Amino acid sequence: MSATGCWSLLFLQSFLFLFLSALLPFNLSLAYSLKNCTAGYSDNVTWVGCAGRELTDVPDDIPKDAVSLDLSSNHLLKINGTDLSGLSQLRYLRIGKNWISHTDDGAFAALELVELDMGSNRLRNLTDNMFQGLWRLTYLCVEKNQIINVSPLAFRSLISLQRVQLRYNRLYQMSDIAPILQLPNLNFLNLDFNDFTSFQSDDLPFNRSNLRTLWMVANSLTKFSVTRDVFPCLQSVHLTAESGIEWDVPDPTFLRSLTTLELYVFDVSCEMYQVMLKSAEAVRELSLSSMEYQRDGDLVAIACEIPTLRSLLLTANDFVSINDTFLQPCSQLIDLDLSCNHLEELSEFSLGSMEQLRRLDLKNNELSRVPLGVRGLSTLEVLDMSSNVISELGCSDFLNLTRLGKLNLNHNRISTLKGCVLQDLSDLKVLNIGENGVHTLVDFSKVNLQKLEVLDLTKNSLRQLKTGDFRSLSSLRSLYLESDTFYVAHEGAFEGLDNLQTLHFTPLFHDTLIFTGMPHLENIKLHLTSLFESKGSYQRVESRFSTLPFLKSLLIQNSDGRYHVLPDLLTGLESLEYFAAEKFFKASPHPNTFTSTPRLKSLQIIQSDLQDFNPEVLQPIPNLQALNLSTNKLRSLGFLSRVNLSALSWLTLRHNELTVINESVFQSLPALTYLDLLGNPFTCDCSNVGFIQWVKNNNQTQVVNAYQYDCSFPPGKQGTKLLDFDVQSCWVDASFLCFVSSTCLTLLTLLTSFIYHFLRWQLVYTFHLLLAFLYDSRKRKEGAPRRYDAFVSYNVHDEAWVYREMLPVLEGEQGWRLCLHHRDFQPGKPILENITDAIYGSRKTICVITRRYLQSEWCSREIQMASFRLFDEQKDVLVLVFLEEIPVHQLSPYHRMRKLVKRQTYLSWTHAGCHAGVFWQNVGRALETGDAPTGTTNLLDPRPEPDYGT
């Protein structure tokens, strides 16, 4: 098969595997990512695949309910007694193609295996208890090891064993295999490519074996002896017979059940050969290989003397021609296989005696035409002449083959297929003429092929399909028309194919191509190619399937064409369930592409260079179960979260450009059980921590091969694995942060409450002291002159007294310059700055104190600022005027006021009485007082100093 053909087949197989697998039930208990394996569930069997992972030990995370386990193609050195413990449901185990040289006794004892494959390892001995406990085992493979010894007790517990593979070892004595031959249910034993020199029943310590099939090809047998009725059930023997072999079967009844005999003959005399065949008088199928042509006629004649012989296989004998007499004695044959020789000719009467022949195999020879000997085989049902060099077919080549049901002419050099060639093949059901050079399609209307069901014209030189070409093939079910170049199909080319179910085709899309005439078509595979002269331009692809209401599967494989896909491509395909496209879409499909396919279950768009995917494309197909967007250039999976895909269980996104995965995307896929992201350039940093944790911890979705995801970014992480990234480096203990934060918040709340309740005025005072300090320092540096004699600090409720009593005397009579806030403060300037400027811009400050004054916030700030100046400058700058008596219990909360009253000059308006003049004179004296520090005595009020408490 050509590389293109292999790729096409691989594409089709992968498509069908993906979408059929997606519909299988999935065991949720397996829906997680294993470190080195892949788990799956189908047909009620839980399988685990760990092949080809370079494992040196049996993984410890194999699911306990695994039924099938594949550990082949790794680097296992031994099987320990505990490696497979706990796998009580395991039935199928493959550990072949490793380096195992030792297995612990009873390593499989806890298992109930049915099949065990240990082939291609380094075992040298099969020990006493190696297979202990495997009483259910039916198949054992230990081929391709280095076994030289089998313990007599090795097979004692294998009472159910039926098939044993021991080929390609170094066994040489019958005592090694005697325990195997004694097993009660044994029916198959393969001992090919060992070192046995004899096979003798006299060496066997028992009287009966139930063996049915024995293979001993490529040993160095010098004697084959069955002198007792030890093998009454033996049906098939395959061995090499070389020069000098002694064949000793004195009684043909000892091989009375033998029906199949395959002999690789090397220099065996005709006499010995005749002895062999006479002891096999019940043989129905005989295979003779490596014969010499000089005496092959005698050997064949001897073989055909067996009255029961019906099938003769003469493959790989280097025959060049068959003459008239070579097969003449074989008139009873039903099946003749002459494949894999170098046949160039079969003479006209070479098969003339075979009046019962039904199957003739001539593939892989060098025939340049249909042999004359084929003509007239009226009983022939199957004829295979594939892989020859036939260049021309004559009208008489298949003369009288009226019962022929299958004709295979694949891979020849046929350029013309005439109608007369097929005229006698009225029973033909399968015709394969693919991979030839046929350039003109036969006129099937002139040929009686009413029973034809399969027609394969793959890879020929046909260029066009005309209207009605297949009209007479109403029974056709499968039609294969794939080619390396396109077909020009005229309208109505497929008319008459009423029962066609499968079509593979390489079309040229144009306006006249309509898939009509196939009402029951279910599967289409289209291999697109482009016109040579139009490769640089886009070709329009629009709906051509509106007449296919039952179509279920559509595959479009593009080789090199450039297509503009219109949104009505799938119009009319209401039954479509599977759609696959390779190299077809060059951008995200149009949102209306799948509006006509509500039953779509599986969608595959691969190798299409998609950089983004419009989520609206998936909106019309809510029943989608499998989605494959591999080998594109997708950088984000955000589109999955913007569409309802509640039934999606299988998602494959291999080989895209995904670097960071947001795990929240998968929350919108409640049924997802299989996810494959292999081959993406992941970033191994904290941006992928959420995805890494989801892969490891989710119990629904199995992320296939997740532990093999490579790091591509940053450069320092290249060569490492995504799931090996240390997520701890990205973590800060959230609970600890919550504890610290809540503790700090609680303490801050308590401290704030405490300060507000007990220290708020002290803090306010301290703040103003700081402002005053900064202001005073600045003013002293500037040496600014005093603008006023006194700043009057009072409460607004006492403003009437200030204007009625104070201003007329101090400003009008005594001539002092006073600063009043409502009159002299600068508009637009902050109030605190105005207060500070007024206090420091006056020689002294007069505080008019009342109960309301003490309760006023701004008055409190004014007296605090003035008192700071008093203590800072150590000058008599503060004059206190009490307009009313304030009891101690009301004054005591104002600690600062008590200290000022005890240390500073103060006057009382209530004590002035009728001596108001004296009162104002005292105020004037206070304003005239120099800057010397003052004492604590009251010079202006003769009443005793009030005791306001400390």
868 pLDDT exceeds 70?
Answer: no
Q: Are 619 and 591 in contact (CB under 8 A)?
A: yes
* Domain span including residue 85: 32-195
pLDDT the model gives residue 826: 82
CA angle 109, 110, 113 (to 5 degrees): 80
> What mean pLDDT is predicted for residues 301-310?
92
pLDDT at 362: 98
Question: Tell me: the pLDDT tens digits for 606-628?
Answer: 999 899 999 999 999 999 999 99
Question: What pLDDT shows up at residue 845?
Answer: 87
What pLDDT score does 921 carry?
86
What is the average pLDDT score of the chain?
Answer: 86
Rounded distance, CA 465 to CA 457, Å? 12
Instruction: Tell me the pLDDT tens digit for each residue of 237-255.
Output: 999 988 889 999 999 999 9
Residue ending a domain, choose from 195, 229, 262:
195
The tokens 């503790």 sit on which residue? Answer: 743
What is residue 780's predicted lDDT score, i.e. its pLDDT?
Answer: 55
**Is residue 716 scored above 80 in pLDDT?**
yes
pLDDT at 847: 87
pTM of the model: 0.74
pLDDT band at 899 (very low <50, low <70, confident <90, very high): low
- Count of domains in the chain? 2
Q: What is the percent of the chain where pLDDT is above 70?
A: 85
Least confidently predicted of 70-74, 110-114, 498-502, 896-900? 896-900
Does residue 737 form part of some domain?
no
Pairing of strands 38-42, 45-49: antiparallel
pLDDT of residue 944: 39
Task: Judge whether 287 and 277 are in contact, CB under 8 Å.
Answer: no
CA atoms within 13 A of residue 831's CA, in its CB half-sphere? 7
d(CA 304, CA 284): 10
On whether residue 789 sits in a domain, the answer given is yes
Residue in the block written with tokens 């899309």: 509
* CA distances to 371, 431, 486, 574 from 435, in Å: 20, 13, 15, 35
443 band by pLDDT with thresholds 50, 70 and 90: confident
Residue 184 near residue 207 (C-beta atoms within 8 A): no
Residue whose C-alpha is closest to residue 940's, from 881, 876, 898:
881
Q: What is the share, in percent, of the chain residues with pLDDT greater than 90?
A: 56
Question: What is the per-residue pLDDT for 783?
Answer: 54
Q: What is the mean pLDDT of residues 427-434?
A: 97
Structural domain includes residue 338: no
Q: Which of 491-495, 616-620, 896-900 has the lowest mean pLDDT?
A: 896-900
- Whether pLDDT at 435 is above 50: yes
558 strand-pairing partners? 528
Angle at 591 between CA 589 and CA 592, to 5 degrees: 105
Task: Kindly tell me if the per-residue pLDDT of 932 is higher than 70.
Answer: no
Lowest mean pLDDT among 92-101, 783-792, 930-939: 930-939
In which band, very low, low, confident or very high, does the pLDDT at 18 lie, cut at 50, 70 and 90? very low
The answer to whether residue 826 is domain-embedded is yes
Tokens 């309740």 appear where?
757
- Whether the per-residue pLDDT at 44 is higher than 50: the answer is yes
Q: Is the pLDDT of residue 225 over 80?
A: yes
CA atoms within 13 A on the CB side of 516: 10
pLDDT of residue 243: 83
**Separation between Cα atoms, residue 814 and residue 816, nearest integer Å:** 6
pLDDT at 534 over 70: no
Report if residue 91 sits inside a domain. Answer: yes
Query: Across 25-34, 622-631, 746-755, 793-802, which has the greatest mean pLDDT?
Result: 622-631
Asked if the structure places residue 842 within a domain, the reply is yes
- Domain containing residue 888: CATH number: 3.40.50.10140
608 to 21, 89, 634, 946: CA distances (angstroms): 23, 43, 10, 100
Highest mean pLDDT: which range of 92-106, 538-552, 793-807? 92-106
Lowest mean pLDDT among 229-238, 517-526, 938-947: 938-947
Report the distance separating Cα 402 and Cα 448, nearest Å: 11
Please return the burial class of 719, using the count of CB atoms within 10 Å of its CB with bins 0-12, 13-18 and 19+: exposed
Residue ending a domain, among 177, 195, 213, is 195
The reply to whether 381 falls in a domain is no
Where is average pLDDT lowest: 56-60, 76-80, 638-642, 787-791? 787-791
Q: Is the dihedral of CA 112, 115, 121, 127 positive or negative?
A: positive
Judged by average pLDDT, the poorest of 357-361, 428-432, 437-441, 456-460 is 437-441
User: What are 792-846's pLDDT values in tens digits?
Assistant: 888 888 888 888 888 898 888 888 899 988 888 888 787 777 887 888 888 888 8
Report the CATH number at residue 174. 3.80.10.10
Closest C-alpha among 172, 175, 100, 205 to residue 142: 100
pLDDT reported for residue 940: 40
Q: Per residue in 324-364, pLDDT tens?
A: 999 999 999 999 999 999 999 999 999 999 999 999 999 99
pLDDT at 172 over 80: yes
**Residue written as token pair 């995965």:** 661
Does residue 171 sit within a domain? yes
Residue 776: pLDDT over 70: no
d(CA 420, CA 54): 60
Residue 753 binned pLDDT confidence (cut-offs 50, 70, 90)? confident
Say what the pLDDT of residue 871 is: 56
3-state SS of 188-251 is: EEECCCCCCCEEEHHHCCCCCCCCCEEEECCCCCCEEECCCCCCCCCCEEEEEEECCCEEECCC
Residue 13's pLDDT band (cuts 50, 70, 90): very low
**Is 35 in contact with 54 (CB distance < 8 Å)?**
no
- Which of 180, 176, 181 lies closest to 197 in space, CA to CA? 176
* Final residue before a domain boundary, out of 195, 213, 247: 195
Structural tokens at position 176: 């090694």
Lowest mean pLDDT among 11-25, 335-349, 376-390: 11-25
